[in-house]
């Protein structure tokens, strides 16, 4: 599939429950690893031997870790859009809608705390569960 192709007819999009679960797990990742600003994950810690999945992560990196076990995800080697990328994008969009702001810029605000991120993720997840 290329970016100009239509999605396959049998593509199943994540449900609101899937997205809520992803945000709940992502919140736990931020709580466990800590919040990173300015990058998906703490590359300095990674270069010093910390496994990528245990490094501090930004909000998007936490969502990626929740869906794929690593803060770095993308297209398959064949250029296909993987289901976990779709789920991560939908979770990020739901969070962005909830906070009323672009997630990367919101995350990198100097005043933003890990607690802010965790709270926003959990509030978004709860809202999604209410509407499901």
Give the model confidence (pLDDT) of 51-89 as tens digits. 999 999 999 999 999 999 999 887 666 666 667 888 999
Task: Give pLDDT tens digits for 79-109.
Answer: 666 678 889 999 999 999 999 999 999 999 9
Query: Which two structure tokens, joined as six digits, stand for 78?
Result: 């064949």
Q: Which long-range contacts (CB under 8 A, 24 or more apart) does 89-94 make?
A: 90/13, 90/14, 90/19, 91/19, 91/22, 91/23, 91/26, 91/63, 91/66, 91/67, 92/59, 92/60, 92/63, 94/19, 94/23, 94/124, 94/128
- Whole-model pTM? 0.88
Q: What whole-number distance in Å separates Cα of residue 96 and Cα of residue 90?
A: 10
């Amino acid at each position: 599939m290329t970016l100009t192709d239509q999605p396959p007819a049998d593509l199943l999009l994540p449900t609101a429950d899937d997205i809520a679960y992803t945000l709940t797990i992502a919140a736990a990742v931020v709580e466990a690893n800590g919040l990173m600003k300015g990058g998906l994950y703490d590359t300095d810690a990674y270069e010093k031997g910390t496994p990528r999945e245990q490094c501090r992560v930004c909000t998007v990196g936490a969502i990626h870790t929740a869906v794929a076990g690593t803060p770095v995800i993308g297209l398959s080697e064949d250029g296909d859009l993987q289901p976990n990328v779709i789920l991560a994008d939908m979770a990020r969009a739901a969070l962005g809608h909830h906070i009323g702001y672009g997630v990367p810029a919101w995350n990198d605000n100097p005043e933003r705390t890990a607690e802010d991120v965790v709270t926003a993720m959990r509030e978004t997840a709860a809202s999604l569960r209410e509407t499901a």
